[in-house]
Structure 1
Amino acid sequence: MGVSRITDPDDSMYWGYRPSLSTNIAFAVLFALSMIAFMIQGIAGKRWLGFTIAMSSGCAVEVVGYIGRILAHDGLGSQDPFLLQIICLTIGPAFLAAGIYLCLSRIVTTVGPEHSRLKPLSYPRIFIPCDCISLVLQAAGGGMASIATINGRNPERGNNVMIAGLAFQVATLLFFILLASDFAWRTCRRQNNFGQTAVEHQRAKLRSSWSFKAFLGTLSLSTLLIFTRCVFRVAELSEGWGGHLAITQKYFIGLEGAVIIVAVILLNICHPGFCFKDAQPSKRRESAHNHGDESRTELVDIGVASDERRGRVLEEIEKEGCD
Structure 2
Amino acid sequence: MVKLEDIDPSLLPPNLTPTELENLIAAYYYSCDYVSPTCPVSATTLGYYPNKGINIFLSVGFGIALFATVYHGIKTKTWTYSSFVAAGCALELAGYISRIPLTSNPWNKKAFETQIVAIILAPTLLCISVYLTLKHVCLSLNPTLSRIRPRLYPFIFVPLDISCLTVQAIGGALAAGGAVSNIRLVEHGNRAIIAGIVLQVVVLGGFGGVGGEYLLRVKKWITSGEAGAHAVELWEDKRFRRFGYAVSGAYMAILLRCIYRIAEMAGGWGNHIMQDEWSFVVLEGIMVLVACLQLAFFPPGMLFPQMAARMAEGKKTVKGDVEGQTQAETSSGEKGVVGNLAEASTGTESEKAVPVSSSVVKKKDSI
* TM tier, smaller: 0.7 to 0.9
SS in structure 2 at match of 1:146: helix
| Runs of 4+ residues over 6 Å off in structure 1 | none
**One-letter amino acid matched to 2:155:** R
Is 2:118 aligned against 1:88? yes
Instruction: Give the CA deviation at 1:7.
Output: 9.0
Within 5 Å, give how 1:117-196 maps onto structure 2.
Answer: 117-151=147-181, 153-154=183-184, 155-194=186-225
Conserved 8 A contact 1:215-1:275: yes
Cross-structure match for 1:249: 277
Per-residue CA deviations over 1:94-142 (Å, capped at 9, x if unaligned) read 0000000001111111111111111111111000000010001111111
Query: Mind listing any 5+ residue stretches in structure 1 that lack a counterpart?
Result: 1-5, 311-323
Conserved 8 A contact 1:62-1:92: yes
Within 5 Å, give how 1:63-74 maps onto structure 2.
Answer: 63-74=93-104
Conserved 8 A contact 1:195-1:204: no
Query: If the length of structure 2 is used for normalisation, what is the TM-score?
Result: 0.74
Conserved 8 A contact 2:101-2:108: no
1:229 to 257, 263, 266: 257
Bigger Rg over Cα:
2
The separation in 2 between residues aligned to 1:190 and 1:76, in whole angstroms, is 57
Per-residue CA deviations over 1:218-265 (Å, capped at 9, x if unaligned) read 111110110000010011000122222100000000000001111111
2:73 to 15, 37, 42: 42
**One-letter amino acid matched to 1:88:** A
Over 3 Å counting, the alpha-carbon distance change for 1:297 and 1:17 in structure 2 is: farther
1:277 to 284, 301, 305: 305
Query: If the length of structure 1 is used for normalisation, what is the TM-score?
Result: 0.83
Over 3 Å counting, the alpha-carbon distance change for 1:294 and 1:109 in structure 2 is: closer
Cross-structure match for 2:355: 295
Q: Tell which deviates more after alignment, 104-113 or 187-196.
A: 187-196
Conserved 8 A contact 1:241-1:247: no
Per-residue CA deviations over 1:267-306 (Å, capped at 9, x if unaligned) read 2221111111378655999xx9xx9x9723435x67xxx8
Identity of aligned residues (%): 27
Over 3 Å counting, the alpha-carbon distance change for 1:119 and 1:278 in structure 2 is: closer
Cross-structure match for 2:146: 116
Over 3 Å counting, the alpha-carbon distance change for 1:297 and 1:42 in structure 2 is: farther
Conserved 8 A contact 2:65-2:297: no
Over 3 Å counting, the alpha-carbon distance change for 1:7 and 1:226 in structure 2 is: farther
Cross-structure match for 1:52: 82
Instruction: Give the CA deviation at 1:188.
Output: 1.0
Is 2:46 aligned against 1:18? no
Cross-structure match for 1:315: none
Conserved 8 A contact 1:14-1:82: no
The separation in 2 between residues aligned to 1:183 and 1:7, in whole angstroms, is 58
Over 3 Å counting, the alpha-carbon distance change for 1:277 and 1:185 in structure 2 is: same
Instruction: Give the CA deviation at 1:14.
Output: 2.4
Cross-structure match for 2:245: 217
Conserved 8 A contact 2:140-2:306: no
Bigger helix fraction: 1
Over 3 Å counting, the alpha-carbon distance change for 1:9 and 1:219 in structure 2 is: farther
Instruction: Give the CA deviation at 1:307.
Output: 6.2
Over 3 Å counting, the alpha-carbon distance change for 1:182 and 1:31 in structure 2 is: same
The separation in 2 between residues aligned to 1:167 and 1:75, in whole angstroms, is 32
Conserved 8 A contact 2:102-2:112: yes
**One-letter amino acid matched to 1:85:** Q
**One-letter amino acid matched to 1:266:** Q
Per-residue CA deviations over 1:188-244 (Å, capped at 9, x if unaligned) read 112134566xxx321221111100011111111110110000010011000122222
Conserved 8 A contact 1:211-1:270: no
Cross-structure match for 2:233: 205
Instruction: Give the CA deviation at 1:82.
Output: 1.4
Instruction: Give the CA deviation at 1:13.
Output: 2.6
Query: Mind listing any 5+ residue stretches in structure 2 that lack a counterpart?
Result: 1-34, 310-317, 331-352
SS in structure 1 at match of 2:149: coil
CA RMSD of aligned residues (A): 2.5
SS in structure 2 at match of 1:94: helix
Instruction: Give the CA deviation at 1:60.
Output: 0.8
The separation in 2 between residues aligned to 1:9 and 1:214, in whole angstroms, is 54
The separation in 1 between residues aligned to 2:63 and 2:88, in whole angstroms, is 10
Conserved 8 A contact 1:214-1:270: yes
